[in-house]
Chains A and B, each alone.
Chain A
Amino acid sequence: AQSVTQLDSHVSVSEGTPVLLRCNYSSSYSPSLFWYVQHPNKGLQLLLKYTSAATLVKGINGFEAEFKKSETSFHLTKPSAHMSDAAEYFCVVSEELNYGGSQGNLIFGKGTKLSVKP
């Protein structure tokens, strides 16, 4: 079965310093992976997606993620944190069917809350 593990429930950084949010996944087939961000009392916004075209994926607001198959990881990074980045971040894998197809529903990690200190 597919699963996602976000290794940190809470990450705190200072404004202007790098951000690293860690994610490991489990999938039998070539997965589709996503990072979503959720601000308080809001829905989820797509930051970026990996769909096997390129291992380094660039997203919105300066975020990037690198797919590493050997490590089954898909960590999210940003060179310089901004106060507006404070939110909850979810690493997500698209659920696959047994024969390698997909029905598209998403499996979410438990989330990492990012705090940014001035």
Chain B
Amino acid sequence: DTGVSQNPRHKITKRGQNVTFRCDPISEHNRLYWYRQTLGQGPEFLTYFQNEAQLEKSRLLSDRFSAERPKGSFSTLEIQRTEQGDSAMYLCASSLGSGSNQPQHFGDGTRLSIL
């Protein structure tokens, strides 16, 4: 169990650029979640996958955001035409099973800064 891995740890980009983040979940975890955390706030749910299927998307996930999980393993989160308001920590979590009592294991996040 090597834990949830996120890359890159930090990303600085100019407004209007596209960015892509990667998340490698704990192996054999079938659920994968993306959250966004802004300064001084708790994480907010963005979207989640069960295996390769994206089952739920938050209203926070505008059409500039897209997430994929090909083959049900790693996941990518892409933001197109970045805006100042996209600056945040993007957290990935994974869990095993589908019950609400299954704990989610979090990565260390990708911190995005928009210049």
Mark A residues whose CB is within 8 Å of B.
32, 34, 36, 41-46, 49, 51, 90, 92, 94-96, 102-111
Q: Considering the complex, give the chain B residue whose CB is closest to the CB of A49.
A: B103
- Are B109 and A43 in contact (CB-based, < 8 A)? yes
- Are B48 and A103 in contact (CB-based, < 8 A)? yes
Chain A proximity of B73: nearest CB distance (Å): 19
User: A-B pairs with the 6 shortest C-beta distances?
Assistant: A108-B42, A102-B100, A51-B101, A43-B106, A94-B100, A44-B106
Mark B residues whose CB is within 8 Å of A.
4, 6, 31, 33, 35, 40-45, 48, 55-56, 91, 93, 95, 98-109, 111
- Are A108 and B99 in contact (CB-based, < 8 A)? no
- Are B45 and A106 in contact (CB-based, < 8 A)? yes
- Are B45 and A107 in contact (CB-based, < 8 A)? yes
Chain A proximity of B53: nearest CB distance (Å): 12
Q: What are 30 contact pairs spanning A and B, CB under 8 A?
A: A41-B108, A41-B111, A42-B108, A42-B109, A43-B6, A43-B91, A43-B108, A44-B93, A45-B106, A46-B104, A46-B105, A90-B42, A94-B100, A94-B101, A96-B100, A102-B100, A103-B56, A104-B99, A104-B100, A104-B102, A105-B48, A106-B33, A106-B104, A107-B45, A108-B43, A110-B40, A110-B41, A110-B42, A111-B40, A111-B41
